[in-house]
Amino acid sequence: MRRTAVIVLFLLLAIPNVASASSATRAISVIFGPYASQALRVARCESGLRTNAWNGQYHGLFQMGVNERATYGDGYDAWSQTRAAYRYFVSSGRDWSPWSCKP
């Protein structure tokens, strides 16, 4: 039974979730408004549109670091992560300088 649980967990983390990607696309489109096409390119590059993407201290659709998540918010769903990223984006002067990936 334990082995089955490990395999299921691996599959959930390793295989991109189409529903998750469409939820991310919708959240980004609604929240970023006129900047949505840029935000989609950044999120696609940063995380492959996966809310569960991790890279060291960086997490989520927009791969925000620990300090940024503490300042602008965080969550496990696309809507929470996108709202936090939008707050960060606005506070940075509506440019993409804080992100490694650019539109």
- What percentage of the chain carries pLDDT values higher than 70? 81
Residue 59 phi, psi dihedral angles, 5° rounding: -145, 145
For 33, the domain range is: 2-91
pLDDT of 24 reads 95
Residue 60 has pLDDT above 70, yes or no: yes
> Is 86 a domain residue?
yes
Give the list of residues 6+ apart from residue 17 with CB closer than 8 angstroms, or none: 50
> Is 62 a domain residue?
yes
How many domains is the chain partitioned into structurally?
1
Which tokens is 8 given? Answer: 């299921």
> Is 100 a domain residue?
no
Pick the residue with more confidence: 50 or 9?
A: 50
> Is 97 a domain residue?
no
Residue 59 has pLDDT above 50, yes or no: yes
> Is 39 a domain residue?
yes
